[in-house]
Amino acid sequence: MNMTNNLYSLIQYILYGDFGLLTIVPYFLFRILFPIITAFYLLQLFLIESNLLKIMSSKIDKVLKRFGLSASTLLPLLLGFGCITVALGALQLTSNIRERRIAQILLCMIIPCSAQLVINTVLVFQTSKTYLIAYIAIIGLMFLMFGFILNLCFPEHSSHQNIYCKKYKYRYYFTMPKLFPLLYKSFRSSISFLIETAIPFAVGNIIVSVLYFYGFINKLCSFTAPFFCNFLHLPADSAIIFILSIIKKDLGAASLLALFANGSFTDAQIFVCTVMLTLFVPCLASMIILFKHENKLITAGIWVLCILLSLIAGKILSSLLILPLPY
């Protein structure tokens, strides 16, 4: 009888709990992710089909060169705001190994995927508009700073210096694309992205619900509490956010959304967590792409560097905001 009651309680928690399949999952997928990702695809298609992306690429090629990049890496970087894994795959078409490597590092370390970007923006906006501006400024400055540093760390070979200048001698003109095909393509892409995201997201939420139900998460939080509480001045529940982010970044962001809804975090702690999550390690799928196409030592270095960068940024922000010790 007890076993039947426990099973019923588990199923009920999986469906209606803090990470429920009928509560947080549809809210995240349809109310938050779908409209934003549709708008992103619409903008992306407009830039491509109107030739604006090619016009922009030819204009900002010299600017990108200062960060060790070129116009050929612009689209993969923009794709990164949709999905880091897709962007890393698109980067493999870039023939210049140096530019590809720099873009890969920037994608993994700085650029948030669409799901994470949406949730982070919503969370920070709900806390304070000042925090939202600060979040955008910090991520932007980090991108510029690390782009400049990586440009110095990876010296350019003379054989690659003028290859892209010749590529953009052809003059492109703006053309206004038709609205209905744009809407149709963006809507279709959004549906495909939503279907691909829904299954792993739902599975991840089920796993988290089961772990929560049987107390594994509480034990893990208790084990890591001294570090998160004393070093970063964050609640002990922060542990699950970063563990889930290793599997899939939107899972970590969604768990932060759920914890915020429960009132577990202060506004300042939400801000610190969103910055740390953005700089945290790429998800498992992105790491698989990196291991497949990149040097294994560099891939491991990127992973470790992301952890260190995230912790250092979190410590600096928590110190500047003078977060109180959570009890």
- Residue 112, in any domain of the structure: yes
Element (H, E) at 310: helix 296-320
| Model pLDDT for residues 125-164, shown as the tens digit of each residue | 788 888 889 989 999 999 999 988 988 888 776 555 544 4
- Residue 87, in any domain of the structure: yes
| Model pLDDT for residues 300-313, shown as the tens digit of each residue | 898 999 999 999 99
The model carries a pTM of: 0.72
| Model pLDDT for residues 210-241, shown as the tens digit of each residue | 888 888 877 877 787 778 888 888 887 788 78
- Residue 239, in any domain of the structure: yes
- Residue 43, in any domain of the structure: yes
How many structural domains comprise the chain? 1
Most confident of 28-42, 132-146, 183-197, 205-219: 132-146
- Residue 325, in any domain of the structure: no
The answer to which of 131-140, 167-176, 260-269 has the lowest mean pLDDT is 167-176
The answer to whether the CB of 12 falls within 8 A of the CB of 246 is no
Residue from 237, 242, 244, 207 nearest 222 by CA: 237
- Residue 223, in any domain of the structure: yes
CA separation for the pair 170, 296 (Å, rounded): 38
Percentage of the chain modeled with pLDDT above 70: 89
pLDDT the model gives residue 164: 47
Residue-range definition of the domain harbouring residue 293:
2-320
- Residue 203, in any domain of the structure: yes
Cα separation values, 55 from 95, 119, 171, Å? 21, 31, 8
- Residue 326, in any domain of the structure: no
